[in-house]
Structure 1
Amino acid sequence: MACTGAELTALQAEHRQRRAALLAALMQPDLRPQGVRRILRALSDASDTLLRALWGRAHIGRQAALVATGGYGRRQLFPHSDVDVLVLVGTGAATAAIETFIACCWDAGLRISSSVRTLPECLQASGADLTLQTALLEARRLAGSTRLFAELRTAHARALDVRAFMQAKLLELHQRHTRHEHTPYALEPDCKESPGGLRDLHLVLWLARAARLGTSWRELAERGLATPYELRQLQRNEAMLWLVRARLHVVAARHEDRLVFDLQAAVAQAFGLTDTQGSGGRLLRASEQLMRRYYWAAKAVSQLTQILLLEIEERVQPASEPLILIDAEFLQKGSLLEIARRDLYERRPQAIVRTFLRYQSTPGITGLSVQTLRALYNARPLMKRAFREDEANRACFMQILRQGSGVTHALRLMNQTSVLGRLLAPFRRIVGQMQHDLFHAYTVDQHILMVVRNLRRFFMPEHAHEYPLCSQLATGWDKPWLLTIAALFHDIGKGRGGNHSQIGAREVARFCRRYAAHGITGEDAALVEFLVAEHLLMSQVAQKQDLSEPAVVAAFARRVGNERALTGLYLLTVADIRGTGPRVWTAWKGKLLEDLYHATLAVLGGRTPEPATEIEERKRDARVVLALHALPPLAHERLWRTLDVGYFLRHDAGDIAWHARQLWSLVGGAQPVVRARKSLAGEGLQVLVYTPDQSELFLRICGYFDRADFSILAARIHTTLDGHALDTFQVIARHGNTGVRELMALVQDGLPRALDPRTALPEPRPRRLSRRARSFPITPRVTLRPDERGERWILTLSATDRAGLLYLVAQVLARHGLSVQLAKVSTLGERVEDTFVVSGEALQSAERQLRIEQQLLQALAQP
């Protein structure tokens, strides 16, 4: 018999009232993490009460059992998680009554995830479905037949192959960690699925339960799988993750396990956190404080679960490999490094650092044994000031950095085991440090280790195809470990307020003085300090300044000083940009850096840039290219006579030849000419526009690319002596996987029509900002200053990126009659830093300059 409307209403009201009280208690800022267990159990119990009432009213009989599975089965029900239930049916079960029961559950407001199966169907399904097999491990009877449930438990335990189950779950773990890039330090982590999240803790208990080693942390400790200290750490950090996830559900008002930027501030507020002043006067956001707590908990969970998984694996399948003596302190146990005695670190704290040297330098070692990991975890109190200042530890650390291979692996393992931050005190300050710059995809410590990895790859022949120039330069670099030190310190000053490059330079100078006895002195120390202090310089010059200006390259060369510093800075810059996130590096940025490197190398080699000589060399090289394409003799001269010195200085020989091939028969024509080719930089298109000059030309071009969904990366704007615009654009499509030929045809067909002055200019298209950009808005900045000669003006803009932004800027410039001669668009994740070289009469008036800057700020701030 179905529940009546009145019955449902009463049950639903009682359940909602109970849930509301529990959720209110959950959001109390003074709730301690340990108190969340009680609330999760109470939420589970509330669902138990409602389900049992509905089950009783459905009159299903004794031939079925209602079973809780999954997280609900272990009495950990989060506010918006599904209520997972299995209706286990026997012979003669009342199918209609079961259907009525399930309908009543939904009508009562329960978010149930239900399945109805017989015992044989359960066993068959669990044999083919690892998720169901796992969920049944935590099955809990709610109502109905005790006999059926007991039969299910017995049959499931009998059918479970513990070793096969463990192997499958560990493979599943690896796949899950791979999806999350094997780091708990993503800026928007999944507090359930990411490494160091709750799922890692679930896995340990699933395997322990399957192997009959225990069903709780306390039982594992009682059976010797965890120490009393580890037990306390497990309980404390699990409770922290519980509280984060539970409050995240409440704040999001839905099942949401990702700490996305939109929700971090609200969750932080639930913890009672507020924005405060940090060290150096820097604003320490509440969300940043929350994420720091989360990362520390996730790191502890990663360490502890690794220990327990190895412990369980040894209990289930004891290692058969013989122990091989490495030295008096270490043994090789299969592919793992084992300490010779459990109290090694207490007796000899210096062996802590030596662990990583042995791991790095012993052939066949790929990891640390459970005994070694456990000893390292418990040795953290030993790593204090005396540990950092011990000369033997310093010497050993330098040996690790000087090894020919395994440096990245050793440093990562040192960070995972909390040794690196205790050996280098400044490093510990940036572990789990968020970055609110909209282009870094990792926390500071993970970014630093990513940069170390990128640098090390330059020295590996198997990676030479990735960045050929970097690999070529690396072969002639004498001390790779100097670059590793520079990478370790380049961002170590973040989070303290002030210029992080200068803070890092002071820290690395202090490091060099302390490690002077171990080979970091004189020119080497000065080089490392320079690299850290100036690690942003090369990127800024390449992406924001006009490299065709000899004065720009000469000034950069003076600041760098010598070829060794230039090469080191180039290698560090490429590794740094590549380590910020998957969307920051582009082939175009790579080309700009290469161009700056080669131009600066020539200056440092004593070659004084002579414009006339440079132009003749480029013309000569262009003629060679033209000869290969069978262009009529002297056909290019007609075009070249219309071009001035500035054109030849701003374009290389390849571009000059391409322009001549496309335009030699069209010089002086009245119709627009648009040609496109695949960019020689490796991605996107290079677009040539040749047309009689007109006002608002740059605006029209920007409007077309905005409407056609292209991003402009760079523009070279030139006006010929006979009044034609000869402009070159580097663009990249924002849409789909359209082929290069289709994109070329699209541009060559559509752009000429957009240049017709009779065509109305399009309105900017409104576009939504990304979640990340909304959460961490950038204050727009505009600077306008004359160049060194006072002939042109340098306009720099910084703002949150969005499609169509350049079109809005072009509108302001056109409104004031400013012509753009050069544009460089630098996109850093969600932030843009654009540089323009402009000219126009309006710039001669201070009042007009102020108006231009104000209107640009308004355009950049538009939602």
Structure 2
Amino acid sequence: MDATPEIILATRVRDQLKADKQAVFADFNAHGHVGHLLTRLRRAVDAALVEAWRGLGLPDDSALVAVGGYGRGELFPFSDVDVLLLLPSEPGEDTTSRLEKFIGLCWDLGLEIGSAVRTVDDCIRESRQDVTIQTSLLEARLLTGNRKLFAELQTRYQADLDPRAFFQAKLLEMRQRHAKYQDTPYSLEPNSKESPGGLRDLQVILWMTKAAGLGDSWKELFERGLLSEREAQELARNERLLKTIRARLHLVAGRRQDVLVFDLQTALAEAFGYRQNNNKRASEQLMRRYYWAAKAVTQLNIVLLLNIEAMLFPSESKVTRVINERFVERQGMLEITSDDLYEREPHAILETFLVYERTPGVKGLSPRTLRGLYNARTVMDASWRNDPVNRRLFLAIVQEPQGITHALRLMNQTSVLGRYLINFRRIVGQMQHDLFHVYTVDQHILMVVRNMRRFAIVEHTHEFPFCSQLMATFDRPWVLWVAALFHDIAKGRGGDHSKLGTADARRFCKQHGIEREDADLIAWLVEHHLTMSHVAQKQDLTDADVIHAFARVVGTERYMTALYLLTVADIRGTSPKVWNAWKGKLLEDLYRITLRVLGGARVDPHSLWAQRRDDTIAQLRLKAFDPELGKPLWSQLDVAFFLRHDARDIAWLTRHLYNKVDSPVPVVKARLSPAGEGLQVAVYIKDQPDVFARICGYFERKSFSIQEAKIHTTRHGYALDTFQVTDPGISSDASGNYRDIIALVEHELAERLQQQGALAEPTQGRLSRQSRSFPIKPRVDLRPDERGQYYLLSLSANDRTGLLYAISRVLAKHRTSVHTARINTLGERVEDVFLVDGSRLASDNKLQLQLEQDLLAALAI
């Protein structure tokens, strides 16, 4: 059967386009000129579309128009090809059929086509209603067809375009986009196109200036006075890098891929010629270069936006007030009074941020100020850093009661912070491959400072009331801001960053004349900023020795409060996924217990037991429950049980178990967790070696995440275990869906525990992308506690579905009973700690070795 003309056309055009693309890609791989790549690729697609349009005999009175980025004349390897099929009137049946064939042929050619069929009237009407369509038409380019029709579109479009309204719409759109990406260019997996500091930010500027008739290239913006020559060159250079990154990312991925995901960062870096060295991975070297480019784009983008706004709205850019001889306020922006201020008076650089903090109503820096700071970078040298006046100014900035977070962010954004604190400059744009930090080191530090400041702001007291209460009475809180600024400043240097950062902090305090008492606290906080989270999440808080040892490290109430506030702020500043209410409860419990010890109290198990019993009785009476009914259950519980559970938990368990002390069937009870998230689940069952594994297996199959497990065996051989579990589907909203989940858990888990038989094989859960890119070597550490009664089992590995069940299954296999379990998930990494029965382990070294080997095997699967 002979091929149809359409098939012949499609084959010819497709083969030619494929050959053209291969030639373009080969040239790019050989020479790396991204401008040639984008232009030649666009020309190849132009030729294919024109030949297809003409080959199908589309009407002479219609036109094929390139729009969007393709209309701009640039095409990335796997980007969409956006076209407008412009018609003089509504199409008839024959024209519609031909247009459908054309669009189908485009897909056959392998093009990611985005098409719209409109008349001129349609285009104008749609552009008025949708700024995205209005933007795509701004860069319309005729490919083939009726020139007169295309000219009519351009004339009517320009007449209908309101540059001011367009500016406002694009500005709002950009703010929404930035918010989607957490308002930072420093995400560990940034979008090279859409993230702040990405290519879209540059395109938005040129759209705005083109709509306003101010130019559509950096050279033209320089000629119109919107940019200095140096700024235009910087933008062009950084734009070239971002385009090269995006183009190579497409080619490495073999598809449209704009997010620099961990999976592709190494291959992308190697495509740029980076190789791993002793200090940094290839991906880290490339990503730091990306972050510095994105930072420069963000900085210059602000300058341009403010300059464009001043030109479009000239009546709104008058001086509002004079602050002093060096600074004025111009419509809410702090502005220098002369362009060469910073060269003449270098002290004014830091004074800028102090004035910013102290001037109510100022919400940012003007284009003139930002430009002055950008061009004063050579002034900020070693002598400038060591100037006593500048040291007093910097200390005054961090000691101001208002505006510290915004000031430090502005200082980092304008590179002033990194040039004043030279060690801070080293961590700007530095990635963290621990799989729970989602920001670069510098952004994490500023997030921690922000979190600390929010504890001191009335409007944020509802977020962490207890932290706000402590901050309200903390003397000289600026000490905490300094500690936060230094706590991770030594990341990536090799060695213990806490120790190295302590040395940096002490040097800073000495140079800035900070009194000994405050300097000691700052240095101590930097050295011990991980201590409290380690104790709270990995050690037994009911162990008096643990509490007393921690109290000895802390020493005083002021140190305790400072460390608690820094710890909460630090964990919250790592990732939205890492903080949860249960971790908050652990930290608060440790704070309160330690504070009592620092006040002179002794952790006496018997007095604590008596207090806990009395508090439980009070809780039961509040529920109109006779405490006498609980005595049969309590007689089977030892002191350790009362120490490990608070009065509310014991009262809850008593009300549900008082008449089931010798229950022949499992009893499961659940409720919304008092900690504020997820469920608290209690299991009461005749003890058996694999009961912990069976419970973990159930939770794993239901996709629950176990935060903590408290395992207890009664005097008459029953397991009384409580679990804190979380699930995204559980909430305490009015819909009541959590009640159904609670009922389901109670029924299903009790039924499952009655079933006998071998434990099911664990699910072979897949590692996440991040875990595959940055694997953690599994670690197992098994050692006896000081008394030798129990063994402390610490495990570290990449997280995956079914991991906890796999661990519990190994413990069940070796008949090793779990006393407590602290499940600590840090992003994509788990750091779990179990207290296990040591009676068999202490007398059998071979068993210890086999248990460790089997656990390592389970972690490595």
Give yes or no for TM over 0.5. Answer: yes
Tell me what 1:168 maps to: 169
Tell me what 1:610 maps to: 604
SS of equivalent to 1:635: helix
* Alpha carbons of structure 1 residues 692 and 440: separation in structure 2 relative to 1, 3 Å: same
Tell me what 1:26 maps to: 28
Q: Please tell me the residue identity of whatever aligns with 1:318.
A: P
Q: Distance in 2 between matches of 1:475 and 1:490?
A: 22
Tell me what 2:7 maps to: 5
SS of equivalent to 2:824: strand
Q: Please tell me the residue identity of whatever aligns with 1:357.
A: L
Tell me what 1:852 maps to: 851
Q: Which one of 648, 657, 663 corresponds to residue 654 of structure 1? A: 648
Q: Please tell me the residue identity of whatever aligns with 1:15.
A: L
* Alpha carbons of structure 1 residues 755 and 858: separation in structure 2 relative to 1, 3 Å: same
Equivalent pairs counted in the alignment come to: 850
What is the CA distance between 1:757 and its match in structure 2?
5.4
Q: Which one of 755, 763, 766 corresponds to residue 765 of structure 1? A: 763
* Alpha carbons of structure 1 residues 832 and 52: separation in structure 2 relative to 1, 3 Å: same
What is the CA distance between 1:844 and its match in structure 2?
2.5
What is the CA distance between 1:563 and its match in structure 2?
0.9
Q: Please tell me the residue identity of whatever aligns with 2:726.
A: I
* Alpha carbons of structure 1 residues 783 and 66: separation in structure 2 relative to 1, 3 Å: same
Is 1:439 paired with 2:436? yes
**C-alpha distance after superposition, 1:107-128 (max 9, x if no partner):** 3333322222222221112111
What is the CA distance between 1:713 and its match in structure 2?
1.1
* Alpha carbons of structure 1 residues 472 and 103: separation in structure 2 relative to 1, 3 Å: closer
Is 1:231 paired with 2:232? yes
145-154 vs 549-558, which deviates more? 145-154
Tell me what 2:150 maps to: 149
SS of equivalent to 1:437: coil
**C-alpha distance after superposition, 1:728-757 (max 9, x if no partner):** 211122556683312221221112222225
Q: Please tell me the residue identity of whatever aligns with 2:26.
A: A
SS of equivalent to 1:683: coil
Tell me what 1:387 maps to: 384
Q: Distance in 1 between matches of 2:308 and 2:727?
A: 51
SS of equivalent to 1:40: helix
110-119 vs 214-223, which deviates more? 110-119
346-355 vs 113-122, which deviates more? 113-122
SS of equivalent to 2:841: helix
What is the CA distance between 1:422 and its match in structure 2?
0.6
330-339 vs 721-730, which deviates more? 721-730
* Alpha carbons of structure 1 residues 634 and 4: separation in structure 2 relative to 1, 3 Å: closer
* Alpha carbons of structure 1 residues 627 and 7: separation in structure 2 relative to 1, 3 Å: closer
Q: Distance in 1 between matches of 2:823 and 2:596?
A: 26
Q: Please tell me the residue identity of whatever aligns with 1:184.
A: P
Q: Distance in 2 between matches of 1:211 and 1:727?
A: 69
Q: Distance in 1 between matches of 2:793 and 2:108?
A: 63
Q: Which one of 515, 531, 539 corresponds to residue 533 of structure 2? A: 539
Tell me what 2:305 maps to: 309
C-alpha contact (below 8 Å) 2:353/2:407 kept by paired residues: yes
Q: Distance in 1 between matches of 2:852 and 2:248?
A: 44
Q: Which one of 503, 507, 514 corresponds to residue 504 of structure 2? A: 507
SS of equivalent to 1:796: strand
SS of equivalent to 1:636: helix
SS of equivalent to 1:755: helix
SS of equivalent to 2:263: helix
What is the CA distance between 1:500 and its match in structure 2?
1.3
Tell me what 1:281 maps to: none
Superposed, 1:670-749 pairs within 5 Å as: 670-735=664-729, 739-749=737-747
Tell me what 2:752 maps to: 754
Is 1:286 paired with 2:249? no
What is the CA distance between 1:376 and its match in structure 2?
1.0
SS of equivalent to 2:183: coil
Tell me what 1:63 maps to: 61
460-469 vs 791-800, which deviates more? 460-469
**C-alpha distance after superposition, 1:140-183 (max 9, x if no partner):** 11212222222221111111011111111111111111111111
Is 1:79 paired with 2:77? yes
Q: Distance in 1 between matches of 2:749 and 2:226?
A: 69
Q: Please tell me the residue identity of whatever aligns with 1:819.
A: S
C-alpha contact (below 8 Å) 1:672/1:690 kept by paired residues: yes
Tell me what 1:560 maps to: 554
Q: Distance in 2 between matches of 1:798 and 1:110?
A: 47
Tell me what 1:219 maps to: 220
* Alpha carbons of structure 1 residues 215 and 564: separation in structure 2 relative to 1, 3 Å: same
Structure 2, unaligned runs of 5 or more: none
C-alpha contact (below 8 Å) 1:817/1:842 kept by paired residues: no
Q: Distance in 2 between matches of 1:540 and 1:656?
A: 27
What is the CA distance between 1:637 and its match in structure 2?
1.9
What is the CA distance between 1:56 and its match in structure 2?
2.9
Tell me what 1:451 maps to: 448
**C-alpha distance after superposition, 1:288-307 (max 9, x if no partner):** 11111111111111111111
C-alpha contact (below 8 Å) 1:268/1:287 kept by paired residues: yes
Structure 1, unaligned runs of 5 or more: 279-283
SS of equivalent to 2:674: coil
What is the CA distance between 1:98 and its match in structure 2?
4.0
Superposed, 1:622-641 pairs within 5 Å as: 622-632=616-626, 634-641=628-635
Q: Which one of 460, 474, 478 corresponds to residue 477 of structure 1? A: 474
Q: Distance in 2 between matches of 1:288 and 1:386?
A: 31
C-alpha contact (below 8 Å) 2:630/2:658 kept by paired residues: yes
Is 1:363 paired with 2:360? yes
Q: Which one of 513, 521, 530 corresponds to residue 515 of structure 2? A: 521
What is the CA distance between 1:325 and its match in structure 2?
0.9
Q: Which one of 44, 47, 55 corresponds to residue 46 of structure 1? A: 44
Between the aligned residues of both structures, percent identity stands at 55
Q: Distance in 2 between matches of 1:53 and 1:664?
A: 85
* Alpha carbons of structure 1 residues 510 and 3: separation in structure 2 relative to 1, 3 Å: farther
Tell me what 2:803 maps to: 805
Return the TM-score normalized by structure 2: 0.96
SS of equivalent to 2:575: coil
Deviation above 6 Å: which 4+ runs of structure 1?
none
Q: Distance in 1 between matches of 2:696 and 2:307?
A: 62
What is the CA distance between 1:800 and its match in structure 2?
1.0
Tell me what 1:298 maps to: 294
Q: Please tell me the residue identity of whatever aligns with 1:800.
A: N
SS of equivalent to 1:497: coil
Q: Please tell me the residue identity of whatever aligns with 1:295.
A: Y
Q: Distance in 1 between matches of 2:730 and 2:680?
A: 18
C-alpha contact (below 8 Å) 1:336/1:365 kept by paired residues: yes
C-alpha contact (below 8 Å) 2:274/2:285 kept by paired residues: yes
SS of equivalent to 1:141: strand
What is the CA distance between 1:400 and its match in structure 2?
1.1
Q: Please tell me the residue identity of whatever aligns with 2:832.
A: D
C-alpha contact (below 8 Å) 1:711/1:803 kept by paired residues: no
What is the CA distance between 1:259 and its match in structure 2?
0.9
Q: Distance in 1 between matches of 2:310 and 2:574?
A: 39
* Alpha carbons of structure 1 residues 338 and 645: separation in structure 2 relative to 1, 3 Å: same
- Considering only aligned residues, what root-mean-square deviation do their CA atoms show, in Å? 1.7
Q: Which one of 772, 782, 785 corresponds to residue 787 of structure 1? A: 785
51-60 vs 66-75, which deviates more? 51-60
C-alpha contact (below 8 Å) 1:3/1:58 kept by paired residues: no
C-alpha contact (below 8 Å) 1:2/1:100 kept by paired residues: no
Q: Please tell me the residue identity of whatever aligns with 1:6.
A: I
Is 1:251 paired with 2:259? no
What is the CA distance between 1:287 and its match in structure 2?
1.4
**C-alpha distance after superposition, 1:822-852 (max 9, x if no partner):** 1000111111111000014134322221111
Superposed, 1:493-504 pairs within 5 Å as: 493-504=490-501
443-452 vs 631-640, which deviates more? 631-640
Q: Please tell me the residue identity of whatever aligns with 2:395.
A: M
39-48 vs 104-113, which deviates more? 104-113
762-771 vs 829-838, which deviates more? 762-771
C-alpha contact (below 8 Å) 1:797/1:833 kept by paired residues: yes
Q: Distance in 2 between matches of 1:651 and 1:102?
A: 68
* Alpha carbons of structure 1 residues 38 and 820: separation in structure 2 relative to 1, 3 Å: same
* Alpha carbons of structure 1 residues 633 and 104: separation in structure 2 relative to 1, 3 Å: closer
C-alpha contact (below 8 Å) 2:56/2:98 kept by paired residues: yes
